[in-house]
Each structure stands twice: as structure tokens, then as C-alpha cells.
Amino acid sequence: MADRVPTGRPKRLQAGIISKIRLENFMCHSNLEIDFGDWVNFITGQNGSGKSAILTALCVAFGSRARGTQRANTLKDFIKTGCSHALVHVEMKNRGEDAFKAEAYGDLIMIERRISESASSIVLKNYQGKKVAAKREELQELIVHFNIDVENPCVIMSQDKSREFLHSGNSKDKFKFFFKATLLQQVEDLLIGIQSQLKNANELVAELEKSINPIVKELDELQGKIRSMEHIEEISNQVDLLKKKLAWAWVYSVDKQLQDKSKRIEELKGRIPTCQSRIDQHLVSALVFHGESYVKSWNAFAGTIFTSFYSSMYANGDFFVTLM
């Protein structure tokens, strides 16, 4: 069975659709608010009632310059006579797969362009009316996301542009219109911008290369020093290893000497009994020899003493008889 082709009304867009516009003190409008439908909207009115002002306000809300609208030279010229400021408030749907930063804005985006005598500001708010961004870059990102080009004549055709196109017989002007309407002008501007950025990038790369050459040279020198230091570290490790080996070799040598000395001591201890026996024998012999000599000496000494004693006794006339 063949697949059915869906019929009926086309699917409604859910993002990038303008749902409301509100103007305060903008050109001829003091306080105007319009709710737009989902499809085609027609704004009718007499000449001078401010229909073109609404179109101009949309251009201003989406970042168009005053000269780009062909209605004023500066933004402050859009302020209603006698007022100090003007406000353009635009609300856009932001639902579905094509939503712009749905996590920040939700299902509705509010764009406010406030104009004063001295300055203008752009504020983007979420569905609750809370401020999300206040930079032109955020608005430009939104415009690119939804492909809104208010300067494209096929998007917005002002009265002046229509009159200029219809009354122009110059083929060059018509080609400019075609070139811009088919987005070729936008593509060309993008290419010119890319070429300019590429040129600046190449110049920056060249400057960086010049500035990086000394750094590369210094890096090479540092790498050479690192390699030398690694070699020195390797040698230092070898020296430490040799010192350890030398220390252990000295320990082994001392241990060997201790073992030899211990062995020699044990040998000498084994000879002690023999030596002690010999010493004892020599000591006994010496005592015997010295004892005989001592007796002889004593006898001789004693004989001398007695002889002297008796001689003196005899000389004095004293004598006694000793019975033996």
C-alpha cells in the first residue's frame, strides 16, 4: 500500500514569527500596539496614517541604521516631536526545533530598541520579560539564525525603493537590485569580510612566526642543555653506583682481613699451652740455678761476718767458748 501524502494546511512555523509590535513616541505614533497573525497580515489606512512607520520600526528593531531605512539621517530623528525618547518593542515566537537559545529565552523573545536624544540601546528579554542580553552581537546572532535581512528589497520594499526601481531605466541599478535581492550582495560582503580576516590572520601568523623564532632557538638550546643534564645525571648515577661498590669492596676487604686475623688468633691460641709449658720449664730451671747461687753467696757473706765479729772480740780481750 502506497504511503499517503499529507494534505491540508501547511505546517505552521513556530519560531522566528513576529507576534506583536508596540511603538511609543515613534515617528507619528504615540502609543501603538498591533498583534499579528500566523500567516499574512495586511495593514491598511489612509496616507500619512503611519503604515510606513510600522515597517520602519521593524527595521530599527532588527538593527537597521537610520540611513538604511531612507526615512531619517539619525536615530533620534525617529523620536516624535515634543518627546524625549522613543521605544520599539517587538515580540517573536520561539518554539520548536528552530528556536533560538530556547534554554535562555523560552518560547518568546522580546526585542526592545530604546532611542534618546544622545544614545540608543538594544535589550533582548525572555518570555517572562527578564533581560537576557544587551549587546548588538546577540541581536546579530538572532538575525543570522532566523535569516532576517531587513535591507534586502525582497524582504522589505519601502515606497522610496519601489519608486526608484520602477522609474529607473538604468540596467546597472536593476542589476544592483537583483544582486541584493538574490543574496549575492550578502555573499559578496561575506567573502570580502573573510578575505580581510584571512589577510589579517596571515599577517598575524607572519608576526607570530618572527616572534617565535627566538623562542624556538632558545627552546633548542634548552633541549640541548636538558640532554646534557640528563647525561650528567646518568654519569652521577654511575658515580653513586661506583661509590656504593667501592664501599662494599672495602667492607669485603676488611671482612677478609678480620677473618684472616681471627684465623691467626686461633692458631696462636692453639700454641699457648705449648709455650706455657716451655716457660714453666725454663722458670723451674732458672729458680734452681738461682737458688744454688744464692746459697753459696749467703754462706760466703755469713763467713765474712762471723770472721769480722770474732776478730773484733779477740782484739778487745773478750772471748767466749761456744760448745758445739
Reported as a single tens digit per residue, the pLDDT across 186-230 is: 889 889 999 999 999 999 998 888 888 888 888 888 888 888 777
268 domain residue, yes or no: no
Q: Is residue 121 helix, strand or coil? A: strand
Closest CA to 129 of 13, 20, 53: 20
50 domain residue, yes or no: yes
Closest CA to 152 of 129, 183, 175: 183
- Domain that residue 60 falls in: 15-151
Strand (E) or helix (H) holding 113? strand 108-116
108 domain residue, yes or no: yes
Is 68 within 8 Å of 60 (Cβ atoms)? Answer: no
Strand (E) or helix (H) holding 208? helix 184-316
Residue whose C-alpha cell is 617565535: 212
288 domain residue, yes or no: no
- Output the CA–CA distances (angstroms, integers) from residue 32 to 22, 53, 184, in the order listed: 5, 11, 36
79 domain residue, yes or no: yes
Confidence (pLDDT) at 8: 54
37 domain residue, yes or no: yes
Contacts of 95 (CB under 8 A, 6+ apart): 14, 15, 102, 107
319 band by pLDDT with thresholds 50, 70 and 90: very low
pLDDT tens, residue by residue, 112-163: 999 998 889 999 999 999 999 999 999 999 998 998 888 877 788 777 777 7
pLDDT tens, residue by residue, 275-305: 888 777 877 777 776 666 666 666 666 666 6
CATH number at residue 98: 3.40.50.300
Q: Is residue 269 helix, strand or coil? A: helix
- Output the CA–CA distances (angstroms, integers) from residue 246 to 82, 241, 257, in the order listed: 104, 9, 16
